[in-house]
Amino acid sequence: MTAWTPDCPNRVMQGDNLELIAGLPDGAFTLVYLDPPFNTGRSQTRQTTTSVRSAEGSVRGFKGQNYERIRGDLMSYDDHFEDYWSFLEPRLMEAWRLLADDGTLYLHLDYREAHYAKVMLDALFGRECFLNEIIWAYDYGAKSKSRWPTKHDTILVYVKNPDAYHFDSEAVDREPYMAPGLVTREKAERGKLPTDVWWHTIVSPTGYEKTGYPTQKPEGILRRIVQASSRPGDWVIDFFAGSGTTGAVAAALGRKFVLVDRSDESMAVIRARLEKASVEVEFVGEAVAKPAGA
C-alpha cells in the first residue's frame, strides 16, 4: 500500500480499521464522522492500541486517575458497555489523533449508548471540547404501543481545539420555518438555520438514494455535517463506512475522503455507488482485486 499523503486521490480501504488508520498521519483530517455498530448486546472484537504515546502526547485522553476512575465506574456498571467500549475506545482515540487542530469529530450513536459516550468522551477529550449533542429525529417504521416509540439517533460533536475549530453555518442547507407566517417574506423564502434537532426522514425504501445496505444513512444528514465542518478541498474520513454515504457526499461537495470498512458487502456497494457518480477513487487492501458486484 502506498503511503497516504494530502495529494493522494480519494481512498477506500478494506480491512480492520484500527490497523489501517494507524498508518495515517496525525492531524490530516478536518472532519471525522463515525457511525459505529450500535451496541445491541452482541460481543464485539476487542483490540488494544498504542495510540497514546505519553501523558504529554498529541492525544488529549487518559487524564490521569480522573479518567481512569470514570472509565472504571462505567465499565463496572454495565458489562455490555465494557465489551462495546473495549472495541470502540481505541478507535475514538485514533480518530482524535487524526483530527486537524481546526477539526471536528461526529460520533453517531443510538439511545442505548449516547449517555455513556458523553461521559466518557468528556473525560477522555475534555468537556471544553464538547460542541453539540444533535438529535436526528425521524418518523418511519413500526411504532411501539407499550412505550413512547424510539425514533431518533444521537450525534455527539467534539472539536479538537475549542478556540480554533472550523464551523460555517452559512454553508449549511437551510430548512423551512415551521411557522413561516411569523417571519418576513424574505426570511421565509430563505429558510432558517437548523438547530441541534434535525427532522429528516430515513433512506426511503423506494428512493433514489437506496443502495440496499442495511444501515445506510441519508445523504441529507451527512451533507449538513460536511457543509458545516469542512471546506472544499479538506479531507474527511469515515472508518465505519458502510454504504459509503460520507464519501459520496464529500465528493459532491468538493471534499476529499478516506473510507474504511472490512465487509465485502460494504466494498461492493461503495464501489458501485462511487463509479455511478464518476468519483475518482483508489481502492486499497482486499478491495483492490474485487470489482463492483464481485
Residue for cell digits 425514533?
151
Distance CA 263, CA 242 (A): 8
Span 112-122, mean pLDDT?
85
Q: Which domains does the chain have, with CATH numbers?
A: 10-283 (3.40.50.150)
Amino acid at position 95, single letter: A
Q: Could you read off the pLDDT of 4-30 as tens digits, one per residue?
A: 898 999 999 999 999 999 999 999 999
Does pLDDT of 100 surpass 90? yes
What rounded mean pLDDT belongs to the chain? 85
Task: Tell me what pLDDT residue 192 has.
Answer: 93
Q: Could you read off the pLDDT of 230-268 as tens digits, one per residue?
A: 999 999 999 999 999 999 999 999 999 999 999 999 999
Task: Tell me what pLDDT residue 57 has.
Answer: 42
Residue-wise burial string across 178-205, b where 16 or more C-beta atoms lie within 10 A, e elsewhere: eeeeeeeeeeeeeeeebeeebeeebbee
Distance CA 160, CA 60 (A): 9
Q: Could you read off the pLDDT of 178-207 as tens digits, one per residue?
A: 899 999 999 999 999 999 999 988 887 777
Distance CA 19, CA 104 (A): 22
Amino acid at position 27, single letter: G
Distance CA 291, CA 294 (A): 6
Q: Quick one: pLDDT band at residue 48, thresholds 50, 70, 90?
A: very low
Let me know: does 35 contact 266? Beta carbons within 8 Å: no
Let me know: does 88 contact 36? Beta carbons within 8 Å: yes
DSSP annotation of 149 reads: -
Q: Quick one: pLDDT band at residue 78, thresholds 50, 70, 90?
A: low
- Kindly state the percentage of the chain with pLDDT values over 90: 59
Handedness of CA 285, 291, 292, 294 (dihedral sign): negative
Task: Tell me what pLDDT residue 289 has.
Answer: 52
Closest C-alpha to 273, from 253, 250, 247, 255: 247
Span 196-224, mean pLDDT?
88
Let me know: does 199 contact 193? Beta carbons within 8 Å: no
Let me know: does 114 contact 156? Beta carbons within 8 Å: yes
Q: Could you read off the pLDDT of 127-161 as tens digits, one per residue?
A: 999 999 999 998 877 788 898 988 999 999 999 99
